[in-house]
Structure formats: C-alpha cells, structure tokens
Chain A
Amino acid sequence: MCLAVPGRVLGVEERDGTRMATVDFGGVVKEVCLEYLPDLKVGEYAIVHVGFALQRLDEDSARQTLELFEHLGMLQEEFGDPWEQAAAENGSGRPSHDVAAGEVQR
C-alpha cells in the first residue's frame, strides 16, 4: 500500500478552505493536508500517510522509549547464561552490531 512516515512541518497555510502544510521528510518536501491535525505547528513532527497528517509525533514519548531501551539488559545479566555471555565478550566484540549490515542499508 503506502507509507506512513514522520515528517517535520516547515510551513502552514489555508488553501481553498483547506488547511495544508509543507512537510520535510529528511530532505524530501511534500504538501500535506492538515485537516485532521489543524493545530499542528511549524517545527512539530507528524505521522504522514498518503498526503495527510494523521497523528502528532510525541517527541517526549520517543525519547522515553529510547531511554527505556538503553536501560534494558538487567534481566539478561540476572538470568542469562554466564557461559554464553563470557563467550560473547571473549569473542570478536559484540557480534550483534553486525546487524546493521543486513538491516539499514537502503
């Protein structure tokens, strides 16, 4: 189908009685209808789908989620297999970082 991606509002205007915005998606700028988020302001982020802003992106929530991920690992330290952990630490670094190779290249 289509995509819903976060974009940052660059400007807002009324056009033919419809609230519209120019939105920046990491360098690509698109016209976006704001009728479903009329109070969205310049500088804010929104989830945009087929030319419509559908939900404000809550930047505090995003930060909190990432902080939560940073603090994960307690369980593993407590209950994980120490032999496997030692082997991983003894090996060529954290192999998990190679995930990026298959993951984010686009």
Chain B
Amino acid sequence: MKYIDEFQDPGLAARLVDEIHATVTRPWALMEVCGGQTHTIIRHGIDQLLPEEVELIHGPGCPVCVTPLEVIDKALEIASRPGVIFCSFGDMLRVPGTGRDLFQVRGEGGDVRVVYSPLDALRIAEQNQDREVVFFGIGFETTAPPNAMTVYQARRQRIRNFSMLVSHVRVPPAIEAIMRSPDCRVQAFLAAGHVCSVMGTGEYPELAERFRVPIVVTGFEPLDILEGVRRTVLQLERGDHTVDNAYPRAVRPEGNPAARAMLDDVFEVTDRAWRGIGVIPGSGWRLSERYRDYDAEHRFQVDGITTREPAACRSGEVLQGLLKPHECEAFGTTCTPRSPLGATMVSSEGACAAYYLYRRLDLTAQAQAPASQNRAPARPPSAETAPPTPSPSPSPSSCPSPSMEGSSVV
C-alpha cells in the first residue's frame, strides 16, 4: 500500500541499522511512548537488529492498557443495564474489569456493539431513539478529536439519547511523570507520531529542556522507527536534547488547528488515574461543562464500585518500563491473550500481547550468545533467531484491512 510499503523496505532498513551501529559508542535507554510503535518494534524484531548498546523501553502509550479499572467497571455496569446499547472499539471487549469483561456482558444479554468510528455510534443512536446509546470514549490525543467531533455533532443535531463515557489521556504529562519517577532510566523519547499529527510539537521543547532529554517525533513503520532511533542516538552521542521531527510527512509543527480548537471546546483537562501507574496530574480530558449533558457518568449514576486487580498481574511495572513482559511469572502461563490477567495482554498495542504474539521465548538464551554474533552491523536475525512469521491472526472487524495492522496509533 502506498506510503506503507516504501517505509518497510528491507534494503533501506539495513542502511539505517548500519548507520545506527556506526553512530553508537555507549549504552543508551530510549523509551517509545506509543503502543503502536511497541507493536511495530516487537513484530518486526527491530530491537534485535539494533546495537546492544541501544535499549528500547516500552512506554505507557497503549490507551486500552491504561484506562483505569474503575472506568472499565463503570462501562461494564452501564452496558449491563436494560435499554442501553453500549458501543466501543473492538479492543476494549476483552479488557478485564473486576471479574468480567464487555464480552461476558454481551454473553449475559447486554447489547454491546463494536464500531469502527464514534460517528457510527451516533448513527445507532439516531436509529434507536427509544434506547440510550453510550460510546466508550478512550484514547490519546489522536482519538480525542474524533470523539470530540461526535459529541459536538450530537449536541448540534440534538441527539439526546447519546452519551459518552470519557477517559482520555494526554502524552506530555505522562512523559513528565516518567522523568520524575525515582526509578527512571529513560534518556530519550520517541514521541508518538500521530499524537503530534493532531497536537503538533509545541508541547515538547519545554520538556526536552527541563529534563535534558532528546524527544524525536517518530512514525510507525519499521523505517520510521529506525529513523527515530537513529536521530535520537545521534543527539545522545552529541550531548544534545532538542525536539526533532522524524515523521514530517504526517506531522506539522502546529498539528491540526481545527482539531485542537474542537478539543478545547469539548474537553477540559483533568487529573487522570492510569491503570497500573496511578494518578498523573493534568493527564486527562473530560467533557467540559457545556457538554456535561452528554457525559455518561452524569447520565447514569454509577456509584459504589469496588475495584479489584488480580494480584499476579504486574502490568503496572510493564507499563512503566520497569519489567519486560516475559520477565513476569504469569506471562504465557496463567496470563495469555485468551485469558488475560491485565489489559497489556489484551490490546495489540499492549507490550505483553506483542511479546506473546511475535517474540520467541528463547530470547534469554539468545541474549547470552557470544557478543560477536550480536555485534555484526546490520546483521538481521538469522533463520533460528528471526521473529516468527506472524500467522494471519483474525483481524478485528474495525480493521479496514489486515495489511494496516502495523500502523497502530495511540
């Protein structure tokens, strides 16, 4: 597909890998913020192509993974009520709430529907005026404008049986929280490309300066990731810490002004709890006062929720980059995509699911192989060490085409 295939070219990938090998002289720890990037990195084995000095720490940028348990439980409660049609993106269905998920709610008779776009949910509301239609509005700055437009349209068209359960999150406060953590090892960030397509790059220079970290806006195809890493390593080796845009074909400095204006109108910044991490000040959006009538939390009184996380799940540490998925005792044993303990094993952008689907489990043996084997520049994984060829997994109905799977977004 145009503008995807070219950015997966193996020959150019080899050049980028060569260049990174030639540039790096010391160990560096980079965090890719976005779960879509984590997916690309693990799926294509990019971390295994990089020099061993370059460590990629997977960040908390999987929106499904960080949606707080309390909000999931509210969704389950609302979706269970008679007269409600509960609409969601497909990857929320298996996210574990306290003891159950949306998939089970549907099995028990709840009217839960998967939609491709939030506008589809609005159309369902128009067609079912005797029912309450609720859309589960989660996601980062990329998904917030579509959801904001949907609430705006509901108000403009006076579709009163529509409401949204909103739990949006923002990247810059998360970067700040990561840098402030006493355990922080991150020396540079690959910023989430499509978040910046909307928001632009204006929020990042202050963070780069204050924490003295390079921040490189990075896309989602294999070459995009490699170019983001190359530019980041170049800065680190030089001792620079600036904001750089390695994804100019989709990111302008000003972002999308119309989308940003809509976000300012429909949402207001609020503190938000991140699942497995805790409350990050100013890291969320909720519906502003003007749109409160369309807020599902106000329309449905959902009180007295007692949340309970499985004790064995260590997704919080995975989300903070403190633990690699396969280092968790439950990984691949009591926790699999079919019966996930935590949300990171559910979403295709969750680090645990990515490791489970694409990563060979003999990684530790490989890491202990003679250094010369790993050091040859541009040496691709050999037949034995290459990531397994992904088997065509059933694509969710929301996927326009299976070939788009690599281009996830936060």
Closest to B196 in A: A55
B194 touches A33 (CB 8 A): no
B62 touches A99 (CB 8 A): no
Q: For the complex, give the distance between the alpha carbons of A78 and B377 in Å.
A: 14
Interface residues of B (CB under 8 A from A): 1-19, 21-23, 35-36, 44-45, 49, 62-64, 89, 91, 116-120, 138-139, 142-143, 145-146, 149, 153, 156-157, 194, 197-198, 220, 222-223, 227, 248-252, 255-256, 258-259, 262, 347, 349, 376-382, 386-390, 392, 398-410
Interface string of A1-28 (1 = CB under 8 A from B): 1111110100000001110000001111
B146 touches A49 (CB 8 A): yes
Min CB–CB distance B72 → chain A (angstroms) = 14
Q: Which of B156, B259, B409 contacts A3 (CB 8 A)?
A: B409
Contacts of A84 in B (CB 8 A): 376-377
Q: For the complex, give the distance between the alpha carbons of A3 and B406 in Å.
A: 8
Q: For the complex, give the distance between the alpha carbons of A100 and B197 in Å.
A: 28
Interface residues of A (CB under 8 A from B): 1-6, 8, 16-18, 25-28, 30, 33, 35-38, 45, 47, 49-52, 54-55, 57-59, 61-62, 64-66, 69-70, 72-73, 75-76, 78-81, 84-85, 87-88, 94-106
Min CB–CB distance B88 → chain A (angstroms) = 11
B403 touches A106 (CB 8 A): yes
Min CB–CB distance A4 → chain B (angstroms) = 4
Apart from A2-B408, A49-B409, A51-B146, list 4 A-B contacts with CB within 8 A: A16-B157, A18-B153, A75-B19, A95-B378
Give 13 A-B contacts (CB < 8 Å), ordered by A residue.
A1-B62, A1-B349, A2-B139, A30-B400, A33-B146, A47-B250, A52-B145, A55-B256, A88-B377, A96-B10, A100-B10, A101-B386, A102-B386
B198 touches A54 (CB 8 A): yes
Output the residue of A3, A8, A25, A55 with the most chain B CB within 10 A: A3
Q: Which of B44, B143, B401 contacts A102 (CB 8 A)?
A: B44
Given known A-B contacts A96-B380, A106-B405, A50 and B10 have beta carbons under 8 A apart = no
**Count of A-B contacts with CB under 8 A?**
236
Min CB–CB distance B262 → chain A (angstroms) = 7
Q: For the complex, give the distance between the alpha carbons of A17 and B118 in Å.
A: 17
A50 touches B146 (CB 8 A): yes
Q: Which of A50, A65, A96, A105 contacts B13 (CB 8 A)?
A: A96
Q: For the complex, give the distance between the alpha carbons of A99 and B258 in Å.
A: 40
Given known A-B contacts A5-B4, A51-B116, A76 and B251 have beta carbons under 8 A apart = no
Q: For the complex, give the distance between the alpha carbons of A104 and B1 in Å.
A: 12
Min CB–CB distance B228 → chain A (angstroms) = 11
Q: Which of B23, B255, B398 contacts A75 (CB 8 A)?
A: B23
B89 touches A5 (CB 8 A): no
Q: Which of B15, B153, B390 contacts A106 (CB 8 A)?
A: B390
A80 touches B117 (CB 8 A): no
B256 touches A36 (CB 8 A): yes
B19 touches A102 (CB 8 A): no
Contacts of B249 in A (CB 8 A): 57-59, 61-62, 65
Given known A-B contacts A102-B45, A102-B387, A5 and B400 have beta carbons under 8 A apart = yes
Q: Which of A4, A64, A73, A101 contacts B19 (CB 8 A)?
A: A73
A102 touches B381 (CB 8 A): yes
Contacts of B149 in A (CB 8 A): 33, 35-36, 52
Q: For the complex, give the distance between the alpha carbons of A94 and B379 in Å.
A: 9
Contacts of A33 in B (CB 8 A): 117, 119, 146, 149
Contacts of B23 in A (CB 8 A): 75
B408 touches A3 (CB 8 A): yes
By Cβ-Cβ distance, the 9 closest A-B pairs, closest first, are A51-B117, A96-B14, A26-B1, A4-B409, A55-B197, A61-B249, A62-B249, A6-B3, A61-B248
A58 touches B248 (CB 8 A): yes
Q: Which of A25, A50, A78, A97 contacts B117 (CB 8 A)?
A: A50
Contacts of B387 in A (CB 8 A): 102
Closest to A79 in B: B22
Closest to B403 in A: A106
A54 touches B142 (CB 8 A): yes
A37 touches B378 (CB 8 A): no
